[in-house]
Amino acid sequence: MSAEESKKISRFLHFVKPIYSKVPIKVKRKVQDTFGHKRFTRIKNALEMEKLYANGVEAVLFSPKKIKVLENTNKIGLYLHGGAYVIGGYNYVRNMGGYFSYRFNTKLLGLNYRLAPENPYPAALEDAVNGYKYLLSCGYEPNNIYLFGESAGGGLLFSLCLKLKELKISLPALIIAISPWVDLTLSGSSYKKNENVDPTLTYFGLERGASLYAQGSKEAAYVSPMFGDLRNMPESIIFASTNELLLDDARGIYEALISHGNKAQLYEFEEMWHAFPLFDVPEAQQAHKIIEKYINAMGQ
């Protein structure tokens, strides 16, 4: 990590990590809902925004007022947010979904799926399926749909595709997974190895989120998709930091996808933090440029 601004953010995250890790879920939800608000305020006038219910799931649809690449006019993303399945509300979905619709210059549907502990597994998966079905009902072709998400949302992308296969529903063209959480059993060595160098995540926090969401089903394929039947999955691009607890999740799902004959690519960034592409740092911009190339190539 060479950029000085990235180093400053990393130091700050390290500083607040012991404090934030002890904060109750209710407070964390309020904090996360403020993330990215100023950035969204700066770019929102470039977007059309509509709050709606996608087959009963609260959501927000973003449409750039000007799409620069003509071939992207009919493309749309489905955004599933992170938060260990226990945090992340409508305002966070709006802030992040709006920014990435603007950044990738495509339509994007941000899904405010139900959270644990109030709504444990399979609530989030059911909502994700309903969100995807909504896009199909609106006339979007599967080869023009991409899935985008970070952390728990990144793992939910793969769970969604496993469920779509079971339901015999056509899969989307592309999965874009940022620091995906795909193993809620926490079996990877990076969970312990990186605990002192990860600026944001803690083993305790992830274990708690996994227990509240999975409730005894941590090894189930729809909860930990790394253990699922990953044959015939969409092309996938995965981003991770070498310093994060979920590094082995990213490596594990990548290796599993490849071993099952899928097209996949893993991009590891040195000494960054969990879900760093959500931040305004040079390394995030590098990741965004890679993602843009894949989105632009969809359907070709």
pTM: 0.97
Give the pLDDT confidence score for residue 3 in this predicted structure. 67
Distance CA 23, CA 214 (A): 21
| pLDDT category of residue 278 using cuts at 50, 70 and 90 | very high
Average pLDDT over the chain, rounded to whole?
96
| Domain boundaries along the sequence of the chain | 4-297
Distance CA 186, CA 255 (A): 17
Give the pLDDT confidence score for residue 5 in this predicted structure. 82
| pLDDT category of residue 1 using cuts at 50, 70 and 90 | very low
Q: What are the pLDDT digits (tens) for 137-189?
A: 999 999 999 999 999 999 999 999 999 999 999 999 999 999 999 999 999 99
Q: What are the pLDDT digits (tens) for 31-60?
A: 999 999 999 999 999 999 999 999 999 999
CATH number of 4-297: 3.40.50.1820
How confident is the model over 289-296, as a mean pLDDT? 98
